[in-house]
Structure 1
């Protein structure tokens, strides 16, 4: 009893501490974390002057590759006078959108693993050249970060020197021995920033795996709606890959829908607010309205967003997809690739969505469900011919005899 009273007494204090702690983590100031390290002052200044530090203030789960003054001052970034936005993109290339601990660095395979950088989210990175490849050599105990492009020009590789600071599971800062410049990036080139307002169709085509979605958006005309909504609170698009459209089950006949229904499905993939990936991973209200909700009425066409096995999961009530990549993330527009086409139950709810079934397999919705179980809870464990054998007269007699024996045994016991 006393323990219960003690716990209840301290619960508000613990809750307040956790709330304040989470607030401090989400509002962390990168330059403040770097301030005790004078050898990183130049890199910290670049974070501030390029506004990259401000972009990071709302992000969690990041890793910073900071270049010490002695290495940074040897780079062309200091001796030349490139445009400020080019400098900013080079610095973004040193921000990994994943928290990595010291232990994590020693677990990468010799072949490496691709990690997304902040530069990849700008739509200015060519194909996957906004990623870095992180490798670990157990013989030399060194972790190397390099451009994934086979023919990239130096400086394209850096070695991790030491850990500077870690805030577990949110932010880590490592020093590296060189600046890394993305593939095909000329520090002397002119301004490369796209005009105000993102061209969504172009961003999807540049992603090289969203051609079906780009064509549908352009043909339906809803892409103009999306781009006109970029102002204000911004938008977040969930875009199925080409494979996701190819793997639609026959029961989800998307192409046969009338034009207005197709437009509703496309609007169903858009939130009328800008959510970077970190915000989606820690979203407070999992039930989110979509642009289709605004058109069809409150409570309809909503998405349930949650974190499942380390990934962002999006559930429509009949389909669950996961975020597979960041296509573009530039306030006020975020575009994420997803593994499945989001099918609203308001349109497809009357049709069972069964995926990964072998060709010719009977649909559970048409099978006779025992004991009136809902069809979705009844999955036949044997093919039709096996079920016919089970119901043959000989097998029925065997089953009845077995039941009789068990009943007699129960009475004697």
Structure 2
């Protein structure tokens, strides 16, 4: 007579019966519940942590790319030697042929948009308050190509009126107590040349648009003027300071560095968003790996409860093991029975953990908002975190990693007690029965 195939139906029935052991039979069911709850909580925490970390990085990158160029092309300083004194001084005249350079850069394959801008620093003053800001001169069409700046859900005013005034960040508006229609003074240190030296240049502008980019550091330190007005104000007539370039794959922006430098011509330099934020993103990726390892340890600790439960189960079921062996069950069959006991616990706990983790990840923004409300804003500070909210992004890869880790650990920790049950001598098990 042929032996039953491994993992036959009767092995599942015996394992399931043992899992439902009553308290009077040794309290094994209590240990089973503890193991399931521990694994479920560990998997839930792992999935929620991975989702939050992924969402944080995505929101940070999206806010950065939505308010900044993917890469910037500019010309380096010119070092000129005075023939009389022999001294060397630096001259930065900007990009005189910026329209022609913009056309060449736009012709590079993979470039989606180019934006010549004038850049300068100035002090904005209103209502007895002041704020230093980075002022960009830009055309209306180019400004409208920046989604995080012109997003109507997070903006006040009409961006179409840029030609009649200035657009400022929400942080500047809050610090200076400004609203749409108010007047703000812009002062730059380098103004007109007079007989007594350089006089600061001061001019008033009407606030026509207030934006919120998603980055508090941007909203508190950035303003936009029309291109021609900025050229006149910063003495850049007929020139631009830099050309901002957008590509179709910002994560691989380094691939465009050499083609853009070649298209820009001699003396051109390139500075991408990864040059500015790459170190921070690498730190986030490293932190993701560390967090996964730490949370994996929690899942391992929860899985060890399965071992404790199975050891108790094997001890309480010694008589049953002896009877099953005398009835013809092989060591392999007994091992599979107790392996299934641990596997059932791990599988059920993992399923519950996945459900709870997904629900937590989907509602983490609301939960964080409630905690922030209770703590009066102390739980989440945008100025520190760099973004206004705590998002979560569920990825199938992260869920599969958590499931694979939990099931692997659950299966591994069941092997030792299952082998102990399989190697139990039936004679010794029945000696005192």
The TM-score range, normalised by the shorter chain, is under 0.3
The structure whose residues are more often helix, as a share, is 2
Higher RCO structure (Cα 8 Å, ≥6 apart): 2
The alignment's TM-score, normalised by the length of structure 1, stands at 0.22
Larger Rg: 2
The alignment's TM-score, normalised by the length of structure 2, stands at 0.21
